[in-house]
Structure 1
Amino acid sequence: MRQPELTPLASSASLPEPGIMGRGLGGLFFVLALAIFGFSLYNAAHAAGVAGTHGTLTVERCWVKQGSRSSSDTTVCGGTFRSDDGKITDDEASIRAKVKSGSKVSVQQAGGSYVRVGFGETTRWIALFFLGWLVVAFGMSFVATGRFPRSGMQVAMITRAVSGTRVGAVRKWFVGVGLAGSGVCLLLTLLAWLLS
Protein backbone atom coordinates (compact mmCIF):
# COMPACT_ATOMS: atom_id res chain seq x y z
CA MET A 1 0.00 0.00 0.00
CA ARG A 2 1.40 3.36 -1.02
CA GLN A 3 1.59 6.12 1.60
CA PRO A 4 0.23 9.54 0.60
CA GLU A 5 2.89 12.18 0.15
CA LEU A 6 3.06 14.88 2.75
CA THR A 7 2.60 18.29 1.22
CA PRO A 8 4.82 21.03 2.54
CA LEU A 9 3.17 23.70 4.64
CA ALA A 10 4.02 26.39 2.10
CA SER A 11 2.08 24.72 -0.69
CA SER A 12 -1.26 24.83 1.15
CA ALA A 13 -1.29 28.61 1.53
CA SER A 14 0.83 31.51 0.39
CA LEU A 15 2.66 33.99 2.57
CA PRO A 16 1.41 37.56 2.60
CA GLU A 17 3.67 40.29 1.28
CA PRO A 18 5.91 42.15 3.76
CA GLY A 19 4.66 45.54 4.84
CA ILE A 20 4.10 48.01 7.63
CA MET A 21 1.07 46.07 8.95
CA GLY A 22 3.21 43.05 9.85
CA ARG A 23 5.80 45.16 11.63
CA GLY A 24 3.01 47.06 13.38
CA LEU A 25 1.48 43.79 14.59
CA GLY A 26 4.85 42.70 15.97
CA GLY A 27 5.27 46.11 17.62
CA LEU A 28 1.82 45.72 19.20
CA PHE A 29 2.95 42.46 20.80
CA PHE A 30 6.06 44.22 22.14
CA VAL A 31 3.91 46.99 23.67
CA LEU A 32 1.59 44.36 25.18
CA ALA A 33 4.62 42.56 26.63
CA LEU A 34 5.91 45.81 28.17
CA ALA A 35 2.51 46.32 29.82
CA ILE A 36 2.64 42.75 31.17
CA PHE A 37 6.20 43.30 32.45
CA GLY A 38 5.26 46.53 34.22
CA PHE A 39 2.01 45.21 35.72
CA SER A 40 3.58 41.97 36.95
CA LEU A 41 6.72 43.58 38.41
CA TYR A 42 4.65 46.30 40.12
CA ASN A 43 2.45 43.71 41.80
CA ALA A 44 5.37 41.34 42.55
CA ALA A 45 7.24 44.16 44.31
CA HIS A 46 4.18 44.86 46.45
CA ALA A 47 3.51 41.17 47.14
CA ALA A 48 7.15 40.78 48.25
CA GLY A 49 6.82 43.77 50.57
CA VAL A 50 9.45 45.79 48.70
CA ALA A 51 7.06 48.61 47.73
CA GLY A 52 3.94 50.08 49.28
CA THR A 53 2.68 50.25 52.83
CA HIS A 54 2.33 47.01 54.77
CA GLY A 55 -0.68 46.33 56.94
CA THR A 56 -3.55 44.02 57.76
CA LEU A 57 -6.93 43.78 56.09
CA THR A 58 -9.65 42.56 58.45
CA VAL A 59 -12.24 40.91 56.22
CA GLU A 60 -15.83 41.82 56.98
CA ARG A 61 -17.61 40.37 53.94
CA CYS A 62 -17.02 38.72 50.58
CA TRP A 63 -18.97 38.89 47.34
CA VAL A 64 -18.76 37.61 43.80
CA LYS A 65 -17.98 40.20 41.16
CA GLN A 66 -19.66 39.16 37.92
CA GLY A 67 -17.29 38.81 34.99
CA SER A 68 -17.98 39.71 31.41
CA ARG A 69 -18.41 37.14 28.65
CA SER A 70 -14.64 36.87 28.23
CA SER A 71 -13.71 36.71 31.94
CA SER A 72 -14.91 34.56 34.79
CA ASP A 73 -16.49 35.65 38.06
CA THR A 74 -14.10 36.86 40.76
CA THR A 75 -14.46 36.61 44.53
CA VAL A 76 -13.69 39.91 46.26
CA CYS A 77 -13.38 40.35 50.02
CA GLY A 78 -13.55 43.73 51.70
CA GLY A 79 -13.06 45.22 55.10
CA THR A 80 -10.78 47.53 57.02
CA PHE A 81 -7.10 48.05 56.25
CA ARG A 82 -4.76 49.26 58.99
CA SER A 83 -1.12 49.95 58.30
CA ASP A 84 1.48 48.48 60.66
CA ASP A 85 2.48 51.94 61.86
CA GLY A 86 -1.18 52.86 62.50
CA LYS A 87 -1.04 55.97 60.31
CA ILE A 88 -3.33 54.70 57.55
CA THR A 89 -6.83 53.28 57.94
CA ASP A 90 -9.14 52.46 55.04
CA ASP A 91 -12.64 51.16 55.81
CA GLU A 92 -13.33 50.35 52.13
CA ALA A 93 -10.30 48.18 51.35
CA SER A 94 -10.77 45.07 49.23
CA ILE A 95 -8.71 42.28 47.66
CA ARG A 96 -9.38 39.58 45.11
CA ALA A 97 -9.41 36.52 47.32
CA LYS A 98 -11.70 33.97 48.86
CA VAL A 99 -11.25 34.12 52.64
CA LYS A 100 -13.58 33.78 55.62
CA SER A 101 -15.20 36.79 57.27
CA GLY A 102 -13.19 37.89 60.29
CA SER A 103 -9.90 36.73 58.73
CA LYS A 104 -6.87 38.97 58.97
CA VAL A 105 -4.96 39.07 55.69
CA SER A 106 -1.43 40.45 55.35
CA VAL A 107 -1.52 42.95 52.47
CA GLN A 108 0.53 45.70 50.90
CA GLN A 109 -1.13 48.94 49.87
CA ALA A 110 -0.42 49.55 46.18
CA GLY A 111 -1.77 52.96 45.29
CA GLY A 112 -5.55 52.71 45.63
CA SER A 113 -5.60 48.91 45.70
CA TYR A 114 -4.25 46.13 47.90
CA VAL A 115 -2.09 43.10 47.10
CA ARG A 116 -1.77 40.01 49.28
CA VAL A 117 1.73 39.53 50.66
CA GLY A 118 3.68 36.29 50.65
CA PHE A 119 5.98 33.97 48.76
CA GLY A 120 3.19 32.31 46.76
CA GLU A 121 1.70 35.64 45.72
CA THR A 122 5.11 36.95 44.66
CA THR A 123 5.91 33.89 42.53
CA ARG A 124 2.47 34.07 40.92
CA TRP A 125 3.16 37.62 39.71
CA ILE A 126 6.67 36.66 38.56
CA ALA A 127 5.09 33.82 36.52
CA LEU A 128 3.06 36.47 34.69
CA PHE A 129 6.32 38.34 34.00
CA PHE A 130 7.75 35.25 32.28
CA LEU A 131 4.57 34.81 30.25
CA GLY A 132 5.35 38.27 28.87
CA TRP A 133 8.49 36.73 27.34
CA LEU A 134 6.23 34.43 25.30
CA VAL A 135 4.31 37.44 24.01
CA VAL A 136 7.60 39.01 22.86
CA ALA A 137 8.61 35.75 21.18
CA PHE A 138 5.31 35.58 19.31
CA GLY A 139 5.72 39.11 17.97
CA MET A 140 9.32 38.63 16.80
CA SER A 141 8.37 36.75 13.63
CA PHE A 142 6.07 39.54 12.48
CA VAL A 143 8.61 42.29 13.15
CA ALA A 144 11.40 40.37 11.40
CA THR A 145 9.40 39.42 8.30
CA GLY A 146 6.98 42.35 8.10
CA ARG A 147 4.24 39.90 7.17
CA PHE A 148 0.71 40.34 8.51
CA PRO A 149 -1.10 36.98 8.86
CA ARG A 150 -4.68 36.58 7.73
CA SER A 151 -5.15 33.02 9.01
CA GLY A 152 -3.74 30.59 11.55
CA MET A 153 -1.96 28.77 8.74
CA GLN A 154 -0.13 31.96 7.78
CA VAL A 155 0.92 32.50 11.41
CA ALA A 156 2.56 29.06 11.37
CA MET A 157 4.20 29.80 8.02
CA ILE A 158 5.58 33.15 9.19
CA THR A 159 6.94 31.51 12.34
CA ARG A 160 8.54 28.78 10.27
CA ALA A 161 10.05 31.39 7.92
CA VAL A 162 12.29 32.73 10.72
CA SER A 163 13.43 29.33 12.02
CA GLY A 164 17.09 28.77 11.29
CA THR A 165 17.85 32.51 11.36
CA ARG A 166 19.26 34.66 14.17
CA VAL A 167 15.75 35.89 14.92
CA GLY A 168 14.63 32.26 15.12
CA ALA A 169 17.41 31.44 17.58
CA VAL A 170 16.58 34.45 19.78
CA ARG A 171 12.87 33.62 19.53
CA LYS A 172 13.56 30.02 20.61
CA TRP A 173 15.59 31.31 23.56
CA PHE A 174 12.75 33.66 24.61
CA VAL A 175 10.23 30.81 24.41
CA GLY A 176 12.48 28.53 26.48
CA VAL A 177 13.09 31.13 29.19
CA GLY A 178 9.42 32.12 29.23
CA LEU A 179 8.17 28.55 29.58
CA ALA A 180 10.82 27.51 32.11
CA GLY A 181 10.44 30.65 34.23
CA SER A 182 6.66 30.61 34.32
CA GLY A 183 6.61 26.85 34.93
CA VAL A 184 8.99 27.07 37.90
CA CYS A 185 7.13 30.06 39.36
CA LEU A 186 3.73 28.37 39.02
CA LEU A 187 5.13 25.23 40.65
CA LEU A 188 6.47 27.32 43.55
CA THR A 189 3.09 29.07 43.80
CA LEU A 190 1.35 25.70 43.99
CA LEU A 191 3.78 24.44 46.64
CA ALA A 192 3.30 27.60 48.71
CA TRP A 193 -0.48 27.18 48.45
CA LEU A 194 -0.30 23.49 49.48
CA LEU A 195 1.99 24.25 52.44
CA SER A 196 -0.13 27.13 53.77
Structure 2
Amino acid sequence: MTELRETVLGDPAELPGRSLGGRLFGGLLLLLALAICGAGVDKALTAAKVNGVQGTLTVERCWMQERSGRAFDEPRCSGRFRPDGGGEPVENAEYRGGGAANVAVGQELEVHRSGATYKLSGGRGLAQGVMAVSGGLAFSALAVPFLATGIQPRWFGRGQNRTRVLAMVTFGIKGTTAGRVRNALLLVGLVGMAVSYITFGAMS
Protein backbone atom coordinates (compact mmCIF):
# COMPACT_ATOMS: atom_id res chain seq x y z
CA MET A 1 0.00 0.00 0.00
CA THR A 2 2.86 2.37 0.89
CA GLU A 3 4.60 1.68 -2.43
CA LEU A 4 1.38 2.37 -4.34
CA ARG A 5 0.89 5.63 -2.49
CA GLU A 6 4.44 6.76 -3.20
CA THR A 7 4.06 5.83 -6.86
CA VAL A 8 0.92 7.94 -7.19
CA LEU A 9 1.73 10.82 -4.86
CA GLY A 10 5.47 10.71 -4.45
CA ASP A 11 7.80 9.97 -1.54
CA PRO A 12 7.57 12.56 1.27
CA ALA A 13 11.28 11.96 1.89
CA GLU A 14 11.99 13.71 -1.42
CA LEU A 15 10.61 16.99 -0.11
CA PRO A 16 12.99 19.77 1.00
CA GLY A 17 13.94 20.03 4.64
CA ARG A 18 12.25 22.06 7.35
CA SER A 19 12.45 25.84 7.17
CA LEU A 20 11.23 28.93 8.98
CA GLY A 21 9.41 30.07 5.83
CA GLY A 22 7.19 27.01 5.77
CA ARG A 23 6.27 27.41 9.42
CA LEU A 24 5.52 31.10 8.93
CA PHE A 25 3.19 30.18 6.06
CA GLY A 26 1.49 27.63 8.30
CA GLY A 27 1.18 30.28 11.01
CA LEU A 28 -0.50 32.67 8.57
CA LEU A 29 -2.98 29.98 7.56
CA LEU A 30 -3.69 29.31 11.23
CA LEU A 31 -4.27 33.01 11.94
CA LEU A 32 -6.69 33.20 9.02
CA ALA A 33 -8.54 30.15 10.33
CA LEU A 34 -8.76 31.73 13.80
CA ALA A 35 -10.14 34.93 12.24
CA ILE A 36 -12.87 32.90 10.51
CA CYS A 37 -13.69 31.15 13.79
CA GLY A 38 -13.76 34.48 15.63
CA ALA A 39 -16.18 35.97 13.12
CA GLY A 40 -18.38 32.90 13.47
CA VAL A 41 -18.39 33.14 17.28
CA ASP A 42 -19.32 36.83 17.09
CA LYS A 43 -22.15 36.05 14.65
CA ALA A 44 -23.46 33.24 16.84
CA LEU A 45 -23.34 35.37 20.01
CA THR A 46 -25.14 38.21 18.25
CA ALA A 47 -27.81 35.85 16.94
CA ALA A 48 -28.16 34.47 20.48
CA LYS A 49 -28.78 38.03 21.72
CA VAL A 50 -25.66 38.05 23.88
CA ASN A 51 -24.27 41.16 22.18
CA GLY A 52 -25.17 43.63 19.48
CA VAL A 53 -28.16 45.94 19.12
CA GLN A 54 -31.25 43.73 19.42
CA GLY A 55 -34.85 44.64 18.82
CA THR A 56 -38.10 44.08 16.94
CA LEU A 57 -38.74 45.10 13.36
CA THR A 58 -42.37 45.53 12.27
CA VAL A 59 -42.47 44.86 8.52
CA GLU A 60 -44.15 47.58 6.44
CA ARG A 61 -43.15 46.55 2.91
CA CYS A 62 -41.20 43.89 1.02
CA TRP A 63 -39.70 43.82 -2.45
CA MET A 64 -37.28 41.94 -4.68
CA GLN A 65 -33.96 43.73 -5.09
CA GLU A 66 -32.74 43.16 -8.64
CA ARG A 67 -29.00 42.67 -8.84
CA SER A 68 -26.90 41.18 -11.65
CA GLY A 69 -29.41 38.58 -12.75
CA ARG A 70 -32.37 36.59 -11.56
CA ALA A 71 -30.21 34.05 -9.76
CA PHE A 72 -28.70 36.87 -7.69
CA ASP A 73 -31.90 38.80 -6.97
CA GLU A 74 -32.44 39.26 -3.25
CA PRO A 75 -35.69 39.60 -1.28
CA ARG A 76 -35.69 42.52 1.16
CA CYS A 77 -38.10 44.05 3.65
CA SER A 78 -38.19 47.26 5.63
CA GLY A 79 -40.15 48.65 8.54
CA ARG A 80 -39.94 50.18 12.00
CA PHE A 81 -37.20 48.92 14.31
CA ARG A 82 -37.69 49.22 18.08
CA PRO A 83 -34.55 48.53 20.18
CA ASP A 84 -35.04 46.13 23.09
CA GLY A 85 -33.11 48.41 25.41
CA GLY A 86 -35.29 51.40 24.67
CA GLY A 87 -34.35 54.47 22.70
CA GLU A 88 -35.58 56.05 19.52
CA PRO A 89 -37.13 53.68 16.95
CA VAL A 90 -35.59 53.51 13.48
CA GLU A 91 -37.86 54.13 10.53
CA ASN A 92 -37.30 52.37 7.19
CA ALA A 93 -34.96 49.86 8.81
CA GLU A 94 -34.04 47.37 6.10
CA TYR A 95 -33.97 43.62 6.65
CA ARG A 96 -32.30 41.33 4.16
CA GLY A 97 -31.12 37.78 4.13
CA GLY A 98 -32.51 34.31 4.62
CA GLY A 99 -36.25 34.10 5.11
CA ALA A 100 -37.09 37.53 3.66
CA ALA A 101 -39.05 35.91 0.84
CA ASN A 102 -41.46 34.41 3.40
CA VAL A 103 -42.04 37.57 5.42
CA ALA A 104 -45.48 39.22 5.37
CA VAL A 105 -46.37 42.87 5.87
CA GLY A 106 -47.28 43.49 9.52
CA GLN A 107 -45.10 40.64 10.78
CA GLU A 108 -42.79 41.31 13.71
CA LEU A 109 -39.25 40.00 13.43
CA GLU A 110 -36.63 39.57 16.13
CA VAL A 111 -33.55 41.12 14.55
CA HIS A 112 -30.19 42.69 15.34
CA ARG A 113 -28.32 45.52 13.69
CA SER A 114 -25.70 44.43 11.18
CA GLY A 115 -23.96 47.44 9.72
CA ALA A 116 -26.54 49.57 7.90
CA THR A 117 -29.10 46.75 7.77
CA TYR A 118 -30.73 44.24 10.11
CA LYS A 119 -30.60 40.45 10.27
CA LEU A 120 -32.62 37.80 12.03
CA SER A 121 -31.69 36.77 15.54
CA GLY A 122 -32.29 33.23 16.75
CA GLY A 123 -31.74 29.83 15.20
CA ARG A 124 -30.76 30.77 11.64
CA GLY A 125 -28.06 33.18 12.80
CA LEU A 126 -26.78 30.60 15.27
CA ALA A 127 -26.58 28.00 12.51
CA GLN A 128 -24.64 30.42 10.29
CA GLY A 129 -22.26 31.22 13.14
CA VAL A 130 -21.63 27.55 13.88
CA MET A 131 -21.02 26.93 10.18
CA ALA A 132 -18.38 29.68 10.11
CA VAL A 133 -16.64 28.32 13.21
CA SER A 134 -16.69 24.80 11.77
CA GLY A 135 -15.34 26.07 8.46
CA GLY A 136 -12.52 27.80 10.31
CA LEU A 137 -11.63 24.57 12.11
CA ALA A 138 -11.61 22.64 8.84
CA PHE A 139 -9.44 25.34 7.25
CA SER A 140 -7.00 25.22 10.16
CA ALA A 141 -6.26 21.60 9.22
CA LEU A 142 -4.44 22.99 6.16
CA ALA A 143 -1.99 24.81 8.40
CA VAL A 144 -0.88 21.75 10.38
CA PRO A 145 1.32 20.09 7.69
CA PHE A 146 3.24 23.33 7.08
CA LEU A 147 3.68 23.99 10.78
CA ALA A 148 4.90 20.42 11.30
CA THR A 149 7.13 20.01 8.24
CA GLY A 150 8.25 23.56 7.52
CA ILE A 151 7.93 23.02 3.76
CA GLN A 152 8.07 26.35 1.98
CA PRO A 153 5.07 26.95 -0.31
CA ARG A 154 7.22 28.72 -2.93
CA TRP A 155 8.76 25.32 -3.69
CA PHE A 156 5.36 24.05 -4.83
CA GLY A 157 5.23 23.30 -8.52
CA ARG A 158 8.99 23.34 -9.02
CA GLY A 159 9.13 20.47 -11.47
CA GLN A 160 6.03 18.83 -10.01
CA ASN A 161 2.29 19.31 -9.86
CA ARG A 162 1.27 21.56 -6.97
CA THR A 163 -1.57 19.26 -5.91
CA ARG A 164 0.81 16.30 -5.85
CA VAL A 165 3.34 18.17 -3.73
CA LEU A 166 0.64 19.26 -1.30
CA ALA A 167 -0.48 15.62 -1.02
CA MET A 168 3.13 14.61 -0.32
CA VAL A 169 3.34 17.18 2.48
CA THR A 170 0.02 15.98 3.90
CA PHE A 171 0.98 12.30 3.84
CA GLY A 172 4.35 13.22 5.31
CA ILE A 173 2.74 13.69 8.75
CA LYS A 174 0.53 10.62 8.57
CA GLY A 175 0.73 8.59 11.78
CA THR A 176 2.31 11.44 13.76
CA THR A 177 0.79 13.62 16.46
CA ALA A 178 0.50 16.42 13.91
CA GLY A 179 -1.35 14.06 11.58
CA ARG A 180 -3.83 13.13 14.29
CA VAL A 181 -4.40 16.80 15.15
CA ARG A 182 -5.00 17.60 11.48
CA ASN A 183 -7.47 14.72 11.12
CA ALA A 184 -9.37 15.75 14.25
CA LEU A 185 -9.66 19.39 13.13
CA LEU A 186 -10.82 18.36 9.67
CA LEU A 187 -13.36 15.85 10.97
CA VAL A 188 -14.86 18.18 13.60
CA GLY A 189 -14.98 21.02 11.08
CA LEU A 190 -16.67 19.03 8.33
CA VAL A 191 -19.21 17.44 10.69
CA GLY A 192 -20.01 20.84 12.19
CA MET A 193 -20.50 22.37 8.73
CA ALA A 194 -22.79 19.53 7.68
CA VAL A 195 -24.93 19.73 10.82
CA SER A 196 -25.24 23.53 10.69
CA TYR A 197 -26.07 23.41 6.97
CA ILE A 198 -28.84 20.88 7.56
CA THR A 199 -30.12 22.92 10.52
CA PHE A 200 -30.06 26.14 8.48
CA GLY A 201 -31.96 24.45 5.64
CA ALA A 202 -34.59 23.10 8.03
CA MET A 203 -35.27 26.64 9.26
CA SER A 204 -35.70 28.10 5.77
Residue in 2 aligned with 1:158?
A: 169
Aligned-partner Cα distance in 2 for 1:66–1:45: 32
1:33 pairs with 2:33: yes
Of 196, 199, 203, which residue of structure 2 is paired with 1:185? 196
Query: What is the CA distance between 1:160 and its match in structure 2?
Result: 0.5
Look up the SS of the partner of 2:145 in the other structure: helix
Q: Give the residue type in structure 2 aligned to 1:105.
A: L
CA RMSD after TM alignment? 2.9
Aligned-partner Cα distance in 2 for 1:164–1:12: 13
What do the CA deviations read for 1:23-71 (whole angstroms, capped 9, x no partner)? Answer: 122111111111111111111111122222322333534424559xxxx
Of 136, 161, 185, which residue of structure 2 is paired with 1:174? 185
Equivalent pair of 2:96/2:117 in contact (CA under 8 Å): no
Of 62, 65, 70, which residue of structure 2 is paired with 1:63? 65
Equivalent pair of 1:74/1:96 in contact (CA under 8 Å): no
Equivalent pair of 1:14/1:154 in contact (CA under 8 Å): no
Q: Give the residue type in structure 1 aligned to 2:65.
A: W
Evaluate the alpha carbon distance shift between residue 75 and residue 10 of structure 1 in structure 2; reply closer, same or farther with a 3 A threshold: same
Could you tell me which runs of 5 or more consecutive residues in structure 1 were left unpaired when the two chains were aligned.
none
The answer to which of 49-58 and 151-160 deviates more is 49-58
The answer to which of 112-121 and 132-141 deviates more is 112-121
TM-score of the superposition, structure 1-length normalised? 0.78
Evaluate the alpha carbon distance shift between residue 162 and residue 12 of structure 1 in structure 2; reply closer, same or farther with a 3 A threshold: closer
Aligned-partner Cα distance in 1 for 2:174–2:42: 34
Equivalent pair of 2:135/2:190 in contact (CA under 8 Å): yes
Residue in 2 aligned with 1:49?
A: 49
What do the CA deviations read for 1:105-154 (whole angstroms, capped 9, x no partner)? Answer: 32012565533112132122212111111111111111111112411111
TM-score of the superposition, structure 2-length normalised? 0.76
Evaluate the alpha carbon distance shift between residue 158 and residue 96 of structure 1 in structure 2; reply closer, same or farther with a 3 A threshold: farther
1:126 pairs with 2:137: no
Evaluate the alpha carbon distance shift between residue 187 and residue 30 of structure 1 in structure 2; reply closer, same or farther with a 3 A threshold: same
Q: Give the residue type in structure 2 aligned to 1:175.
A: L
Q: How many residues of Structure 1 are paired with residues of Structure 2 in the alignment?
A: 185
Q: Give the residue type in structure 2 aligned to 1:128.
A: A
Equivalent pair of 1:140/1:167 in contact (CA under 8 Å): yes
